[in-house]
């Protein structure tokens, strides 16, 4: 006779159904987060935004979280539970996405400054929901997979996120079909569908909580205490892994946002695909591999392959701290290849290295947090990490945009003059977009020089490898076993 009462999470089928439902929301939010990357040129030519304004929009996703909104969300997660927290913050993200979409349509006004203001407001709301959703998703996966397939489950949730990023980059131009608002409308719809999937999940979550009323209900009798938070942020291993999170993601996410434009300007990749109907299979493959947004999508596509593989290795062999050191080394190679080297071959190798690094470090980082921090404090820990990560994500895109403007003043002025001239002649936004792209392709409008902007990211890679080494040293002293296989595996 079985002495321990079985619950929903004891069913492997239910665990994986829950993972898919949670990951559907992750997919939609990541698609929307990255959907503007392939549309940067359209935002410049159709809406009249500068590089600095584009960087401002990208940065605004983090502003509320700089005011410790994620930590507040983590506290609410502990107090309200997964269901209410998820519904509230997923709704905030969805409303923010709708505001951005309406702004791009000129719903609040057609002047660039007005559109910019409301897009920032919407992006800010979306970012407020996004980061707490990420914390909630991680905490939910720990709830259902602790002591089972935790590393693999976290990795698969990341795969859904990367799939959203890859889809936004790979299909973004085609989905937009020459209109920023069309691309945003599609992305906002995906978030709405993710919210529906989460609402379905809450049914299972409620049933699990009712079952655990009779057995073990994690964290119900735990209260948020300031002393616990102080203990957390003074833990050297947690400090190193948090700072590594900041440096690493600041070197990756902002790069993905500008990568399509970088590839177009540095290597002469295409903005849109040519007519493929008369091409052979190999010619079609070549066309895809010479398109800026399509090649950028290789980064998240690579993570979909490598992240689960590295997670399986981690579950079986350990070596989490060493894996993070290797990932940081690949990050340095990637950005050197894409900044100082002008060979397109090294450009592809750099993107591949970045994709592998983007798999290695997260696959090792998030399960490691569960070793460093007690389970009943994981919500606060993840929230704290995401909060500090957002400081980096707020600063780096703005710096990249400013540096790009500083080192390319003549190009910015040329685009401004051409756009004003075409507008005065009565050209539509779509015609202006096409004409500016033609002038860029012909060389009348010179290519942006991204060297200094990307070289800055090499510095973040160096910081990442230093922090990963320090984390490994701290783990030797504190004995969390980051290099070891989790007991019971």
Domains assigned to the chain: 12-210+224-408+448-478 (1.20.1250.20)
The partner residues of 270 in beta bridges, in order of sequence, read 291
Degrees (nearest 5) of the Cα angle 429, 273, 414?
45
Q: Give me the pLDDT at residue 5, please.
A: 65
Identify whether the C-beta of residue 445 lies closer than 8 Å to the C-beta of residue 319: no
Q: Give me the pLDDT at residue 7, please.
A: 87
pLDDT grade for 2, boundaries at 50, 70 and 90: very low
What is the average per-residue pLDDT within 433-453? 84
Q: How far apart are CA 306 and CA 356, in angstroms?
A: 7
What is the average per-residue pLDDT within 260-289? 88
pLDDT grade for 221, boundaries at 50, 70 and 90: very low
For residue 1, what are its two tokens? Answer: 């006779």
How deeply is 327 buried, as exposed, middle or buried, from its count of CB atoms within 10 A (0-12, 13-18, 19+)? buried
Q: Give me the pLDDT at residue 40, please.
A: 83
For residue 459, what are its two tokens? Answer: 């510095």
Q: What is the pTM of this model?
A: 0.76
For the chain, give the mean pLDDT: 87
- The string of pLDDT tens digits covering residues 46-81 is 888 877 788 888 878 878 777 777 888 887 887 788
Q: Give me the pLDDT at residue 223, please.
A: 58
Query: By mean pLDDT, which of 33-37, 72-76, 127-131 is the weakest?
Result: 72-76
Q: Give me the pLDDT at residue 219, please.
A: 44
- Highest-scoring range by mean pLDDT, 255-269, 285-299, 323-337, 474-488: 323-337
- The string of pLDDT tens digits covering residues 374-394 is 877 787 888 889 888 878 887
- Contacts of residue 160, Cβ cutoff 8 Å, sequence gap at least 6: 23, 24, 26, 27, 30
Q: Nearest 5°: phi and psi at 270?
A: -80, 155
Q: How far apart are CA 309 and CA 282, in angstroms?
A: 29
pLDDT grade for 215, boundaries at 50, 70 and 90: very low
- Three-class SS string for the chain? CCCCCCCHHHCHHHHHHHHHHHHHHHHHHHHHHHCCCCCHHHHHHCCCCCHHHHHHHHHHHHHHHHCCHHHHHHHHHHHHCHHHHHHHHHHHHHHHHHHHHHHHCCCCCCCHHHHHHHHHHHHHHHHHHHHHHHHHHHHHHHHHHCCCCHHHHHHHHHHHHHHHHHHHHHHHHHHHCCCHHHHHHHHHHHHHHHHHHHHHHHHHHHHHHHHHCCCCCCCCCCCCCHHHHHHHHCCHHHHHHHHHHHHHHHHHHHHHHHHHHHHHHHHCCECCCCCCCCCCHHHHHHHHCCEHHHHHCHHHHHHHHHHHHHHHHHHHHCCHHHHHHHHHHHHHHHHHHHHCCCCHHHHHHHHHHHHHHHHHHHHHHHHHHHHHCCHHHHHHHHHHHHHHHHHHHHHHHHHHHHHHHHCCHHHHHHHHHHHHHHHHCCCCHHHHHHHHHHHHHHCCCCCCCCHHHHHHHHHHHHHHHHHHHHHHHHHHHHCCCCCCCCCCC
Degrees (nearest 5) of the Cα angle 313, 316, 321?
65
Q: Give me the pLDDT at residue 197, please.
A: 97
Q: Give me the pLDDT at residue 487, please.
A: 60
Q: Is the pLDDT of residue 336 over 50?
A: yes
Identify whether the C-beta of residue 339 lies closer than 8 Å to the C-beta of residue 365: no
Identify whether the C-beta of residue 11 lies closer than 8 Å to the C-beta of residue 145: no
Q: Nearest 5°: phi and psi at 117?
A: -60, -50
Higher pLDDT, 350 or 437: 350
């Amino acid at each position: 006779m079985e002495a321990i009462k079985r619950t929903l999470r004891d069913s492997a089928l239910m665990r994986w159904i829950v993972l898919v439902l949670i990951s559907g929301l992750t997919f939609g939010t990541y698609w929307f987060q990255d959907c503007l990357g392939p549309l940067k040129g359209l935002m410049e030519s159709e809406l009249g935004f500068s590089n600095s304004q584009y960087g401002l929009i990208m940065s605004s996703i983090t502003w509320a979280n700089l005011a410790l909104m994620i930590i507040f969300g983590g506290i609410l997660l502990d107090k309200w539970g997964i269901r209410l927290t998820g519904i509230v913050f997923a709704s905030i993200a969805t409303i923010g996405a709708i505001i951005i979409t309406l702004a791009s349509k000129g719903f609040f006004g057609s002047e660039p400054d007005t559109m910019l203001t409301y897009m920032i407001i919407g992006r800010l709301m979306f970012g407020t929901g996004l980061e707490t959703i990420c914390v909630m998703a991680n905490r939910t996966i720990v709830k259902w997979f602790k002591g089972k397939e935790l590393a693999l489950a976290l990795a698969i949730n990341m795969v859904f996120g990367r799939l959203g990023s890859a889809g936004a980059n790979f299909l973004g131009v085609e989905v937009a079909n020459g209109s920023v608002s069309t691309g945003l409308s599609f992305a906002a719809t995906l978030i709405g569908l993710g919210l529906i999937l989460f609402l379905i999940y809450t049914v299972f979550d409620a049933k699990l909580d009712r079952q655990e009323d009779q057995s073990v209900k994690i964290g119900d009798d735990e209260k948020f205490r300031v002393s616990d938070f102080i203990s957390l942020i003074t833990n050297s291993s947690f400090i190193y892994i948090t700072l590594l999170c900041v440096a690493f993601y600041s070197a990756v996410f902002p790069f993905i946002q500008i990568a399509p434009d970088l590839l177009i300007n540095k290597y002469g990749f295409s903005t849109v695909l040519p007519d493929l109907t008369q091409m052979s299979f190999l010619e079609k493959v070549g066309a895809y591999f010479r398109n800026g947004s399509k090649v950028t999508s290789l980064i998240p596509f690579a993570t979909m392959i490598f992240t689960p593989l590295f997670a399986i290795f981690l579950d079986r062999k350990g070596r989490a701290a060493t894996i993070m050191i290797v990932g940081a080394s690949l990050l340095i190679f990637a950005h050197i290849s894409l900044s100082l080297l002008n060979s397109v071959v090294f450009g592809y190798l750099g993107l591949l290295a970045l994709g592998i690094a983007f798999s290695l470090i997260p696959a090792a980082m998030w399960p490691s947090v569960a070793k460093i921090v007690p389970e009943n404090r994981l919500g606060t820990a993840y929230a704290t990490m995401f909060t500090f990560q957002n400081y980096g994500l707020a600063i780096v895109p703005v710096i990249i945009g400013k540096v790009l403007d500083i080192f390319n003043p003549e190009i910015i002025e040329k685009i401004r003059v051409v756009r004003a001239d075409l507008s005065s002649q009565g050209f539509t936004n779509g015609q202006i977009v096409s004409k500016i792209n033609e002038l860029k392709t012909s060389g009348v409008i010179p290519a942006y020089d991204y060297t200094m902007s990307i070289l800055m990211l090499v510095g973040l890679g160096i910081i990442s490898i230093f922090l990963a080494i320090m984390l490994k040293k701290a783990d030797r002293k504190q004995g969390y076993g980051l290099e070891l296989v989790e007991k019971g595996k």
